Amino acid sequence: MPNGHFKEMPYRSWKPDDPHLAADRFMEIMQQRRSIRSFSSREVPLDLIETVIASAGTSPSGANKQPWRFVVIGDPELKRTIRKAAEEEEKLFYAQRASQDWLHDLEIIGTDENKPFLEAAPWLIAVFKLMKDDRQNVSSEQVYYVNESIGIAVGMLLAAAQHAGLATLTHTPSPMRFLGDILDRPSYERPYMLIPIGWPADDATVPDIERKPLSEIMVMNRGEQP
């Protein structure tokens, strides 16, 4: 049925026996999430990747337009082609495009123009944002809040991967037009992010960083007090 004419259905929520325990367990798992640049060559089943992406597809979106496309790449030659194109953009970024402050902030976490993880990870997920609704029998091709919608979807993808024990990295070479060309995507699909995904290497290391405490990211506004 076209958008705008939804049937109503009962909401069936998942109700854990102990909401606090469930929330605490989720937080414990997510606190271990880090951006990984060293991947194992161990095989990751495609159906596991499919489940992770299906979880991302449950995300909310403006007018339920679901403006996302996840292109999965496992072919070694195609990954090599993507790496080469990404590194060409990254070389320009580090040499010309990035400000000194940006370069300094990246130096702290140890990144540079070399991106071997684009070949080492068993899978790459190229995320595209749809600038029109290309489904059949929709009321219009318009899409709304595209960046917000796809940002939420990527966050849910990362969370689903973390729950499965998979390592991920959010890679955003800029510009990313090469992704659409290499993957032969239509012009209304705009590259948004490239996510290497797989098992972490046994000797993987990550920068020793600290996350902001709750007191710095949450503000309790109680309204006017009597």
- Which residue in 154, 184, 157, 149 sits closest to 49, CA to CA? 157
Tens of pLDDT, residues 16-29 = 999 999 999 999 99
CA dist 64 → 39, 106, 108 (Å): 35, 36, 40
> How many Å apart are CA 93 and CA 113, to the nearest integer?
8
Tens of pLDDT, residues 80-96 = 999 999 999 999 999 99
Q: Cβ contacts of residue 158 below 8 Å, gap of 6+?
A: 33, 168, 170, 195
DSSP 8-state class, residue 8? P
Tens of pLDDT, residues 123-172 = 999 999 999 999 998 989 999 999 999 999 999 999 999 999 999 999 99
Length of the chain: 226
Provide the CATH number for the domain formed by 53-199 in this structure: 3.40.109.10
